[in-house]
A and B are shown apart, each in its own frame.
Chain A
């Protein structure tokens, strides 16, 4: 008898959940640009991002929002800080409560998952009407797209390149490597009792995959077939750098911030990292004589793009939110944010205001950089790759076996 009561209750609960869910979200793609949108109508927009208070990007955003409000005094903007680690949960929770923010800044690789979740507004038509899509690098747009529809625009962009310590290289009489073979040799030559030749991140989370993708792509491999001979070659190459002793085994413990710390303190002669480390190095290692070079080529040249996108929530405020985002895409304003965030220009018609010559190298590297656009299940795909990476880099598995296992797990996750 107790069970039947529960059973009935369960069915009622399921119905309630389904009902609540259908009320909570609109289906994607249903909203058409409303011709009745009045930009002077009063509206309150909520804005979420993970730029810490008083950081340069946060201040840049604040300044721009204030400027927007003077132009559109009918708009109230509530900006809220959500820590990056909490963003997914926050969006999920607010979706369930029908209290989604109007605009959020999301990390590129997560964007497709949010689009699949049904909370992102389809901006394809609005962007077409706006007509400036051709000013954006395709890779950046790809990360915000799903099934041919566009669900956002980039706010920051970066990629990975090779930092090198000029003094240590000069002392060893070597130049930055341009091929894989040179990489192995140079890294080995730069390794001494005082410092390792090279440093990268192989930590137990997505950062390790972000750091390894350039190598994978340079070998001609891809995550869609991660047990291909090219992929195996890529992983074996990465592992060889550790095996040779050119890279510390602590790499499995380092995130990109830790890698930068190693480089800044002269414990690594070269490192794989991104332009957001330029401000860090300027503050923490102002006397370090370093440069940035393009990543060595394997079979191809390649790097990986990172960065964040604007995501507009599907809902009644979508048009007002789009108005704000459109306004933020003015090249001068884009430059303001990108310079503050240590980001590469997200638009082709924007030249960075940052005169650091190293940034120019990143801009050049961006030309051969690809986005992580593997669908809504990227988080799980990445976790499987991390398992393979860590087991091979720690020497407890072969590249072939580890990647075969990973490929089997990844296959159903690709769409």
Chain B
């Protein structure tokens, strides 16, 4: 019998590797990512290199002054970078503390109300941040949480917590129940079983959630805009936006600032690339 023809959708790796596809891929992805290159290259250009037409693709000389002006000698910007770091780490920690047990409960434990309890997390994903911003503003004003790291951390956690729970839940689903039952037999309480057996097994999920929440919070804008009224408390996204007003026609410094704001995310992304792609697909598709 003749061998069934392999479906064209997958090239067998036994044939020659499809380098022509690789070439196409590089070109297409290169075009797609070109704006990012443009941002970085602009950041190194001096004004005379910027205001030319046609523009210079590769800066002829690397001018660092944009970076000095917009970032390294700019106290506001440096302070904002620090603020964003504190806020992002704080939010990740808080989100993990809340989401880890919650996803466990919703994923593993037979709760009578699982469906109903999942609902707030799903609804929260629908909620526009702007709806929450004003009430939070008035509420936080009265208790002194405006211009306060804790205030923004609480607000940002609202934004990321539902996502964290939804992404984390499938990781728990993958753990065989037998392990917990074995622990129960040994006399472990639910909490002990959770902490000593289940938790280490979902560590990849925890890393994914931590990375996700860090990235999402670093880029958060609305709560930063509405819940900080003083410049020295603002996260870096709000500062960058105010730069546009100041540096509007000075694209060099603006691109330098943008690059620095993007840099931590790119680094985190490159290091935790697998977790990000895995977590997102799992969370969204396994709905």
Contacts and interface: CB of A to CB of B under 8 A. Distances in A.
Interface in B234-270: 242, 245, 248-249
Given A85-B245, A261-B249, A93 B231 contact: no
Contacts of B141: 92-97
A95 B141 CA distance: 8
Given A255-B248, A258-B248, A96 B231 contact: no
A17 B229 contact: no
Contacts of B249: 254, 258, 261
Given A83-B242, A85-B242, A261-B249, A97 B144 contact: yes
Contacts of A17: 138
A82 interface: yes
Nearest to B249: A258
Nearest to A205: B245
A356 interface: no
Contacts of A89: 226, 229
Contacts of B229: 82, 86, 89-90, 93-94
Give the residue among B137, B138, B144, B226 with the most A Cβ atoms within 10 A: B138
Identify whether the interface residues of A are mostly helix, strand, loop, or mixed: helix
Interface in A221-239: none
Interface in A249-266: 253-255, 258, 261
Nearest to B233: A86
B146 A97 contact: yes
Interface string A67-102: 000000000000001110110011011111100000
Contacts of A96: 137-138, 141-142
A63 interface: no
Interface string A276-294: 0000000000000000000
B230 A82 contact: yes
Interface residues of A, number: 20
A83 B232 CA distance: 10
Interface in B51-73: none
B248 A93 contact: no
Nearest to A98: B142
Given A83-B231, A89-B229, A96-B142, 6 more contacts: A17-B138, A20-B142, A82-B231, A93-B141, A93-B146, A95-B141
Interface of A: 17, 20, 81-83, 85-86, 89-90, 92-97, 253-255, 258, 261
Nearest 8 pairs of A and B residues by beta carbon: A96-B141, A90-B229, A89-B229, A97-B141, A93-B141, A93-B146, A86-B229, A83-B231
16 contacts: A82-B229, A82-B230, A83-B231, A85-B245, A86-B229, A86-B230, A86-B231, A90-B229, A90-B230, A92-B141, A93-B147, A93-B229, A95-B141, A97-B141, A97-B142, A261-B249
